[in-house]
Amino acid sequence: MDDRKLAEDLRAQAPMALEAIMERYMRDVYGVVARVLPSGAPPEEIEEASSQAFIAAWKGARRYDPARAPLRTWLLMHAKYAALEHRRRAQRWSRALRSERGLSPPDPFEALAAQEQRSEVQAALAHLPMLDREIVYRRYFLEQDIDRMGKELGLSRGAVDNRLWRARNALRELLTERIDGEGEDASGPR
């Protein structure tokens, strides 16, 4: 399938189009993300930011204009911005943790935010199916290799990658809903 047809299918929100662009451009997206993130960034951070790029492309597919840029260029732009956002988030998280551990001047607001974030992530994890929760735990908490994890769980690497992608997307949606819900409560009449 050529990029023009792939872009049309992506704009129509065909799930097979997302899988096809991930297969075709994952290496390119991963490369851009790896160059934008600090050198020595763990592979799971690069994978997370790469997934963010594909999610952003999926959500913004209807705004893609092939007259402005080829599909590959458009995806790599999403990769760059996803990596920059991931880097900013990691820097905020790192500052909060350093402050919490007394390694830098304490900022009570950052320490509280880090504690709340951990609690929210734990609560969101509880909503995932058991197998997805285990895969997330093994990958991001035990830092287990995807191939090893697949062998131990009896899954192909593609199935593990797919479950990780879906789990990260579900977690992101759960956390976004929670944040949006809190914002509505705070702004609504009392």
CATH fold match for the domains 1-106 and 126-190: no
Q: Look at the domain 1-106 and name its fold.
A: Rna Polymerase Sigma Factor; Chain: A (1.10.1740)
Q: What is the CATH number of domain 126-190?
A: 1.10.10.10
What's the pLDDT score for residue 184?
47
pTM of the model: 0.54
Domain extents for the chain?
1-106, 126-190
Q: Percent of the chain beyond pLDDT 90?
A: 28
**For residue 188, how many other CB atoms are within 10 A of its CB?**
7
Q: 38 or 117: which carries more pLDDT confidence?
A: 38
In tens, the pLDDT along 150-168 reads 999 999 888 888 888 888 8
Q: Does 182 have pLDDT greater than 60?
A: no
Q: Which tokens sit at 59? A: 């959500």
3-state secondary structure the chain: CCHHHHHHHHHCCCHHHHHHHHHHHHHHHHHHHHHHCCCCCCHHHHHHHHHHHHHHHHHCHHHCCCCCCCHHHHHHHHHHHHHHHHHHHHHHHHHHHHHHCCCCCCCHHHHHHHHHHHHHHHHHHCCCCHHHHHHHHHHHHCCCCHHHHHHHHCCCHHHHHHHHHHHHHHHHHHHHHHHHHHHHHHHCCC
How does the average pLDDT of the chain come out, rounded? 81
